[in-house]
Amino acid sequence: MEGCGRIMAELRSPETMARDVTGSLFGESDVPEPDETWPDAPLAERMRPRDLGEFVGQGHLVGEGRLVTRLLSESGPLPSLILWGGPGTGKTTLARLLAQRARARFAPVSAVGAGIKEVREAIAEARGNRRRGRRTVLFIDEIHRFNKGQQDALLPAVEDGTVSLIGATTENPSFEVNAALLSRCRVLVLEPLSDADLATILRRAVTDVDRGLAALRPVISDEDLGRLARASAGDARVALSTLEAAVCAAGPDPSGNRLITWELLTESLGRARFAYDRQGEDHYNLISALIKSIRNSDANAAVYWLARMIEGGVDPIFLARRLCILASEDVGLADPQAMVQAAAAAQVTHLIGLPEALYPLTQATIYLARAPKSNLVKTAYVAASADAADSAREPVPLHLRNAVTPLMRGVGYGQGYRYVHDDPSARDEMNCLPDRFAGRDYLHPS
């Protein structure tokens, strides 16, 4: 990749290289300058849109009459925003373009390596710019990595308009951004890019002479570009990085062209990218999809979601535990063998681990999906627990208590108890609930 970067730097025009090094794309001193884009920067960085007209995707936000366009047409400073979306969906790019269109200084801070000190320094600089009549967009990438104290440090500057905050996050801001800060921001949801959007971005990279790969003369079919778009799962950075790696790996033929085959693209893509993070929201979304597919007796969908989690690197014991829970909660007495299957899968998974454990986990998943369903165990316990909570101090009836000592027998412990093996009628005639709940049927509620 470094060699490819040097080749690109050599092939690009002196004018383009000079413009990139100075960072001046606008020709006006009061228009914010982007970060320097070096000639050997990765393709995904070089191909960032230079204005909103070049921005691809997020049609629900960008375009005529859409929210972002309306925000920019409003008078006054840009409102504070939280951009929530997966990797490679354009969060950073959109933040830069918003600052550019608002003619504000773009001040980026990464929450990965920054702390309160860096935030306060950026805010202090923004106050100075404000006195000089220039607005500041404070962009915090991975804002979900800031703790509560770090997020609280942003509040005064956001409230008094010193900065327009744009936070980017791949995690659900409802959980990762504290309520005080979230209430002062508008949340914009960025969707994964469509296959058509990614194909457009890839074609632009192939044909762009100044910033793209056209100088290397790649030859790639539309079909393979479309397949790469699908394999990139909505992530433009993955798509562009894979394309760049393939073009750089393909040697030029005698005519100077570089033939890009699907095999070369597959090799460059490497292991399939799965939208899965053990600590993130996707973890809970995926397990929810698995459980609900099994509950709905859709074995095909269940195996698909199981594979998504296993290939994404899930802890197999976590999956085994969830299958055991479901075997009782959603199948229960409708098929008692479901618990046996789930428990056996959990035991085997613990014994052998992945990758071989995928077989018992898949077997248990299919069995549970095909099994008859009953939530009787769950509903019975929920109903009983409600009564238990309502009668937490209710004494145990005397006839159900063990009379261990003479004193206990003397006060009535065990009196009236009937041993059902000797007295079968006791089953129907002896009440085993507190008197106030006599006759309660948790298994067949009305």
Give me the CATH number covering residue 31. 3.40.50.300
Q: List pLDDT tens digits, range 1-51.
A: 445 655 555 555 544 444 444 333 333 334 444 445 566 789 999 999 988
Q: List pLDDT tens digits, range 286-306.
A: 999 999 999 999 999 999 999
Q: Based on the domain organization, do 231 and 342 belong to the same domain? A: no
Give me the CATH number covering residue 323. 1.20.272.10
Q: Which of 155, 190, 225 is the last residue of a domain?
A: 190
Is residue 123 assigned to a domain? yes
Q: List pLDDT tens digits, range 121-157.
A: 889 999 888 888 889 999 999 998 898 888 888 999 9
Taking the C-alpha atoms of residue 328 and residue 386, their distance in angstroms, rounded to an integer, is 20
DSSP 444: S
- The parent domain of residue 404 ranges over 389-437
Q: Which of 262-276, 353-367, 425-439 has the lowest mean pLDDT?
A: 262-276
Q: Based on the domain organization, do 9 and 139 belong to the same domain? A: yes
Q: Is the pLDDT of residue 52 over 90?
A: no
Q: Are 405 and 373 in contact (CB under 8 A)?
A: no
Identify any residues that bridge with 219 across adjacent strands, giving them in sequence order: 259
Q: Tokens standing for 289?
A: 């999809």
**Using H for helix, E for strand and C for coil, what is the string for 27-70?**
CCCCCCCCCCCCCCCCHHHHCCCCCHHHCCCCCCCCCCCCHHHH
Is residue 383 assigned to a domain? no
Please report the pLDDT score of residue 234 as a whole number. Answer: 86
Q: Which of 269, 295, 315 is the last residue of a domain?
A: 269
Number of domains in the chain: 4
Q: Is the pLDDT of residue 217 over 90?
A: yes
Taking the C-alpha atoms of residue 149 and residue 111, their distance in angstroms, rounded to an integer, is 13
Q: Which of 138, 169, 190 is the last residue of a domain?
A: 190
Q: Which residue has the higher pLDDT, 159 or 76?
A: 159
DSSP H helices, 221-336, are 222-231, 236-249, 262-269, 281-295, 299-311, 316-326
Q: Based on the domain organization, do 314 and 230 belong to the same domain? A: no
Taking the C-alpha atoms of residue 358 and residue 337, their distance in angstroms, rounded to an integer, is 20
Please state the rounded mean pLDDT for residues 362-378: 96
Q: Based on the domain organization, do 297 and 366 belong to the same domain? A: yes
Q: Based on the domain organization, do 34 and 178 belong to the same domain? A: yes
Q: List pLDDT tens digits, range 87-97.
A: 889 999 999 98
Q: Based on the domain organization, do 339 and 356 belong to the same domain? A: yes
